[in-house]
Structure 1
Amino acid sequence: MAEAHQAVAFQFTITPEGIDLQLSYQALNQIYHSGVRSWKRRVSRMRNRVIKGVYPASPSSWLFVVIAILATLYMRSDPSMGLIDKIQQHLPLSLHVSLSSQGQTMLSALVFSTLLWLSLILALRFCLKLLLSYHQWMFEMHGPVSNTTKVWVTLLRLLSSRKPLLYSYQTSLPHLPVPTIKDTLSRYLQSVRPLLSDPAYKRMTELANGFESNLGNRLQRYLKLKALWATNYVSDWWEEYIYLRSRGPIMVNSNYYGMDFLFVTPTSVQAARAGNTITALLLYRRKVNREELKPVRELRNTVIPLCAAQYERMFNTTRTPGLETDVLQHWQDSEYVAVYHKGRFFRLWVYNAGRLLSPREIEHQIQRILDDPSPPLPGEERLGALTAGDRVPWHQMRKQYFSSGINKRSLDIIERAAFFVTLDDEEQGMKGDDPAGNLDRYAKSLLHGKCYDRWFDKSFSIVIYKNGKNGLNAEHSWADAPTIAHLWEFTLATDAFQLGYTDDEHCKGDVDRMLPHPRSCCGTSRLSLADDVDCHVFPFREFGKGRVKKLRVSPDAFIQISLQLAYYRDRGGFCLTYEASMTRLFREGRTETVRSCSNETCAFVKALEGGESAEQCRRLLRLASEGHQNLYRMAMTGAGIDRHLFCLYVVSKYLGVDSPFLKEVLSEPWRLSTSQTPIQQIELFDIKNHPDYISLGGGFGPVADDGYGVSYIIVGEDMINFHVSSKYSCKETDSHRFGAEIHKALQDIMALMSAEPKSAAPSRGPSQPKKQL
């Protein structure tokens, strides 16, 4: 490994004439501008703390309260009912001596006004928190809205009338409630009923009843105690035990990927695409730092905020390996990105003299890296493979070889970077003689690459391919997919529609030719795990959510039921199914599980495959759709099953007690793991005028060795993109075969519902909340 280039402000040597001090003007200038930028950020953070600290009031409202109190005093009225006089009596003796009587009264009135203002802020925030705790609106049907919901919407709009910052709502969001043991166990037994035989179900019911009457209530008391003082009783344990304590590889098993536009590549120049992509990401980071992003909100024309805590660790964050658990390290700022190209690591400064480099300048610097002919140093080319394998060997290697000296400083440079960039020497995308196969290879490349040309520990890594196609790979522990999806939507839209390219496909802007060259910052591959992944990506174009909604069926429920039908045809039965639902209506909320394989869904699939009448099948489908939506709403509002049982299991481990029921529940495999990639910023994409600029979405690896991972994104009104994964080592699964079954299931259900007489269609259907998975 080679030591990274360090900007040095001065050098000195000992000579016979004394100490020879050599100052570097360029380095001092960089230090000066870096310091100025750092102070600007501190001032901005302090300003934002004040603004969000008093939300939903404003800092200027303090002046209004002071003027109002002073005005009433001037009119010889005491709005404090004697409190101002009491404050005046308790002023320090020095103030009594130095201030006149009128001055003491003014100071006392100022103190009272400030206390009154703070009390009003606390009252407003308490009212806002109560309003945000109301979730009944999600369960109401289309059509007439209840008077309670109407009043709630009006009050919420009044309290949220001021433009909020990204984190303005954080302290007003409600805490995630702890469900009762009885309710959770009842819903659990209902969820596994279609998967168990009568004797097995009877046995599981006995285990659940025994758990409830004995150990369960004891564990519940500890969990409620945690919920009283913890911001969220699930999230910290979920992050630690599900992600950070996992000792297996995070590549494929945990990390996930996001893809470029499906039909369009804005430029074929690799350096230019890198220039605009990096610029867009840094512009997004600036918005996060300044809290200029709007808190993501729900539908139904309300102002429902979602928790924004996950944005805090989006940039300048790395997961570092440990012996028993990993640690997420986050730095306040970073002025460079780490770049990998053909076995070499580079540090690319993205600021010069305190300003962000233009896209054209970043392109220029990237081109210098691409043109650098230097070979990798010994051990440098495959250094990234350490982040792809098991965590314990990576921890041991880090402790042995990267704990001091040049190696440590070089590793620090990679880990402290804003994010990681791979300049891939391959071409990817759909175009070519084999579009379907090319999409599959594109997905595999983003999921694992060559196993050593990504840095899987970074919060996210960007991949720029030789033909200008791009994508990302994201580490999962610090945040969930919607957060990265929000970032990626902004990046793609800013790249294509805001920054743009010149006629010769280069970035716009000028270049400062005096920019210093990027310098090298450097050191067992896991190919078996990567080679085992069977990825299949396909766009479904026969219809989309437009036709599904005309049937008065939830698009997501339609897809989930289709997945159950496809799995039944593929494997001849049903399985425990995981669908990700967000819980960001609550503070520091992350995800909850929707158990999509329900009694109603299984009844529909059996009826359809058993040759029941079309009318009966349609009736069962609508029951399954309504049941699925209800499960989803319950998960979103804190009444899910799996996170509660998971936390009870953690408590049992802390207490050193065993529960046969919890042990069996937590060991059940999710052979079908599903997730929808949300489109959250529709305003960034003009799909009507630019229909080719549609996203492929992203995907992940299978959760179970003998199961499937399915991710999908509903694009516009007429397309659904699917990502299917499995493992070649399992002879019972095949991603392409399952993809074909999904395609057929969607068509069969649409044909069934399209044949329904219009008079038989229900006039109203359940509302569909916008989902963040």
Structure 2
Amino acid sequence: MRSVSTAAPKPLSLPRLPVPELRKTLDRYLKSIEPFLLEDERHGGLPFQTAYALRAKWADEFASGVGQLCQERLLALDRASPHNWLANFWANKAYLEWRSPLLINSNWWLAFHDDELIPVHAREEMPDITPWQVRRGAWLAHRVLSFKDRLDRQELYPETTRTGIWLRESVAKMFNIARIPKPKCDILSKPPSVSNPDAQKIYIMVHGWSYAIPVYEPTSPPRLSDVQEIETRIRSAVIDAQQRLAAGDEAVPIGALTADERDRWTQNLQYLLNLSQQNDRTHHAICQSLLGLSLDGPSPTFSLTGQDALTSHLHAIRSTNANVANRIFDKACTIIVDPSTRAGMSGEHSPCDALVPSIVAEWALVEGIDASLFDAPEPVPFASSTPEQIGWERLDWVVDEKIKSECTHALERAKAIIDESDDNVFWFQDYGTDWIKGALKQSPDAFIQMVFQLAYYKTRGQFTATYETALTRMFKRGRTETIRSFTKESRAWVLGMLDGNLSQQTRRNLLHHALHAHTTLTREAMTGRGIDRHFLGLKLMLRPLSGEEAALFEDDLFQRSQTWKLSTSGLSAGNLFKGTGFGATYDDGYGINYLAAPDMIKFGIESKTSCPHTSTDSLKDAIFEALTDMRTLCLATDGTAVSEHIASHL
């Protein structure tokens, strides 16, 4: 009888991120700057051919000279690297060297849909921390950690698939880690060993105080505690905080220091650590904890309805003046719940990209609170008696007058950042990815990127370099690459949409070419053939102290082609999210996160109120208009027809 093998399938291994070919990167770069040169010529600059020939000359000189040396050094670095060449410097250059505050500027945020299994009366305006708020916080933390555990056990997304390998490595970076401020360049904390008790805890913040809460049982291996037990422990710590508040105690808003400029926070953290060993204990416990849970106080905007309520919820997750001190912005993942049980998640960007926590959050949100897993379907009111300390620990800070003063000033600076943020959510519900893929046979992502090109031009009367995130997750320790959405083809289409002399069919043909060009760029970026990460590596291999220089890098256009006034990124369909967002990269630009679902598209848009040239509401209106105009265009024309004169418009 023939035996059947029962051996487990071997895990796959991901290929290394390639170092792109130098000549191909230069050729792709020259193509990417064509729309800028055409715009310069249109506005009185050098003729296109003259300006292009100059850049081509600099590219050739780079390819045959110092660029070849830089390429060889990059290849040598790759050979010496355990994972890939980019991993040597990406986190530092993209995130950790930034000195700007993490608040809005760097951290991402997600607003969750309400849990319909929570009674309506518990989702109404509440004056203070509530038992249902604690229950939803415990539930969400338990669900998120359940995903982590199942992934570790390979019950979800096993390592027999590329997605499983990428997701397991990426999700691991969400937990037990935090960004630590250091002079000039921050670092990431080292994950603790499994035997470290702090590794089995979460930390919660309530009324500005921090507490460590055990969420695993001390078995071998550690077992995730029942959600009822987690709720009990959190409740006990909350009661302690409430009694401290009632006794006239007040938390020093240390959380605001984490929202401050990074070098300022570096100095203040070092001062705190020198002030008391207790501060070192508190900081280590927070860094090494699994994740954060912020139980916020009441918001003054509960009475809002419709779009205003949606926007206020996103603001509450992003941060408001009322809750900015109830966060540790250095933490990679923080769940946030307010007294009406509105919830969301926010986090520090450097350990992993925002798509990763959004995948975890969606899995967590699929199941609402299961009352059968608790002692009672309705949580009882908080007891007024002294709470029984069931394993939780106060994570208090020892402070002096200097730190209190620093916190006051940090709150003022955080308020200025928050007040400056023009952040909004826009739900477009006329159609979604089903129509784009079904009726148009086109990539929804490319379609949405063309929406941004048209909307931006209509509001500004000009084009800009546009960043779209592409994941290089098919490679070992892959992170991201840039898709340069502003192309010669997208420019021609936008100008064609505003040219009254063109027929609708010609505009449709121009759109077809723009979508095709964007899809090609996306494929190149995802498969390790993008240009911006390669250029970063080449520049870092340059040795200016030895007299090495490159005219290509000194060109103003080289810098302008990387000045992302439109910074965009798409996540999942987002059916369980109300909205999402991140901050604009430039004060006169936009940060746009979008969720493209089968029947709708959600946009989270952020800009700065002080800039007279940008307006979140104006761009939102322009996006709606662009989406409507594009559907009208596509319904009125033949998608298979290609004009014989199309080349003259490119």
TM-score by length of 2: 0.82
Equivalent position SS for 2:89: helix
Larger Rg: 1
2:552 equivalent to 1:670: no
Q: 1:351 aligns with which of 202, 209, 216?
A: 216
Cα-to-partner distance string for 1:161-206 (whole Å, 9 max, x where unaligned): x556xxx33xx21111111222111111211211232425454444
1:330-349 matched pairs, under 5 angstroms? 330-333=191-194, 334-349=199-214
Q: 1:393 aligns with which of 235, 241, 264?
A: 264
Amino acid at match of 2:474: L
Counterpart in the other structure of 1:581 = 470
Counterpart in the other structure of 1:367 = 235
Amino acid at match of 1:187: R
- In the TM superposition, residue 310 of structure 1 has moved relative to its aligned partner by 2.2
Amino acid at match of 1:635: A
Contact 2:227 2:374 in 1 (8 A): no
Amino acid at match of 2:193: Q
Matches of 2:543 and 2:297, distance apart in 1? 48
Matches of 2:306 and 2:159, distance apart in 1? 35
Matches of 2:504 and 2:209, distance apart in 1? 62
Counterpart in the other structure of 1:311 = 171
- In the TM superposition, residue 597 of structure 1 has moved relative to its aligned partner by 0.9
Equivalent position SS for 2:577: coil
- Number of matched pairs: 578
Matches of 2:544 and 2:118, distance apart in 1? 53
2:135 equivalent to 1:277: no
Contact 2:236 2:389 in 1 (8 A): no
Report the identity percentage.
30
Q: Which has the higher contact order (CA 8 A, sep 6+)?
A: 2
Q: 1:563 aligns with which of 419, 435, 452?
A: 452
Amino acid at match of 2:280: K
- In the TM superposition, residue 438 of structure 1 has moved relative to its aligned partner by 2.3
Counterpart in the other structure of 2:461 = 572
**Change beyond 3 A, Cα 1:552–1:761:** farther
2:288 equivalent to 1:416: yes
RMSD (Å) for aligned C-alpha atoms: 3.1
Contact 1:551 1:761 in 2 (8 A): no
2:298 equivalent to 1:426: yes
Cα-to-partner distance string for 1:34-88 (whole Å, 9 max, x where unaligned): xxxxxxxxxxxxxxxxxxxxxxxx9976xxxxxxxxxxxxxxxxxxxxxxxxxxx
1:460-475 matched pairs, under 5 angstroms? 460-475=333-348
Contact 2:311 2:425 in 1 (8 A): yes
- In the TM superposition, residue 698 of structure 1 has moved relative to its aligned partner by 1.9
- In the TM superposition, residue 340 of structure 1 has moved relative to its aligned partner by 0.8
Cα-to-partner distance string for 1:271-318 (whole Å, 9 max, x where unaligned): 1111211111221232244343315999xxx98964643233221111
Contact 1:411 1:522 in 2 (8 A): no
Equivalent position SS for 2:603: strand
Contact 1:276 1:359 in 2 (8 A): yes
Q: 1:659 aligns with which of 550, 575, 581?
A: 550
Matches of 2:266 and 2:6, distance apart in 1? 52
- In the TM superposition, residue 215 of structure 1 has moved relative to its aligned partner by 1.7
Cα-to-partner distance string for 1:321-377 (whole Å, 9 max, x where unaligned): 111321111223412211111121112222355453322232233333333220399
Counterpart in the other structure of 1:719 = 600
1:46-57 matched pairs, under 5 angstroms? none
Equivalent position SS for 2:325: coil
Matches of 2:467 and 2:117, distance apart in 1? 34
**Change beyond 3 A, Cα 1:280–1:243:** same
Contact 1:567 1:738 in 2 (8 A): yes
Matches of 2:638 and 2:72, distance apart in 1? 54
1:115-154 matched pairs, under 5 angstroms? none
Amino acid at match of 2:74: L
Cα-to-partner distance string for 1:580-608 (whole Å, 9 max, x where unaligned): 00001111100000001111111111111
Amino acid at match of 1:483: V
**Change beyond 3 A, Cα 1:497–1:569:** farther
**Change beyond 3 A, Cα 1:347–1:307:** closer
Contact 2:481 2:530 in 1 (8 A): yes
Matches of 1:527 and 1:246, distance apart in 2? 20
Counterpart in the other structure of 2:106 = 254
Q: 2:73 aligns with which of 211, 214, 222?
A: 222
**Change beyond 3 A, Cα 1:180–1:452:** same
Which deviates more, 431-440 or 325-334? 431-440
Equivalent position SS for 1:452: helix
Equivalent position SS for 1:373: helix
**Change beyond 3 A, Cα 1:350–1:228:** same
In the alignment, structure 2 segments of 5+ residues that lack a partner are 123-131, 381-386, 398-409, 644-650
Contact 1:173 1:307 in 2 (8 A): no
Cα-to-partner distance string for 1:629-660 (whole Å, 9 max, x where unaligned): 11100101111010000111111258654434
Amino acid at match of 1:457: D
Contact 1:307 1:588 in 2 (8 A): no
**Change beyond 3 A, Cα 1:746–1:498:** farther
1:665-704 matched pairs, under 5 angstroms? 665-666=558-559, 668-679=562-573, 694-704=576-586
Counterpart in the other structure of 2:129 = none
Counterpart in the other structure of 1:620 = 510
2:632 equivalent to 1:751: yes
Cα-to-partner distance string for 1:481-502 (whole Å, 9 max, x where unaligned): 2211121112112445798889
In the alignment, structure 1 segments of 5+ residues that lack a partner are 1-57, 62-161, 508-512, 681-692, 763-773
Q: 1:326 aligns with which of 152, 173, 186?
A: 186
Counterpart in the other structure of 1:176 = 17
Cα-to-partner distance string for 1:399-428 (whole Å, 9 max, x where unaligned): 222145222122222222111111011359
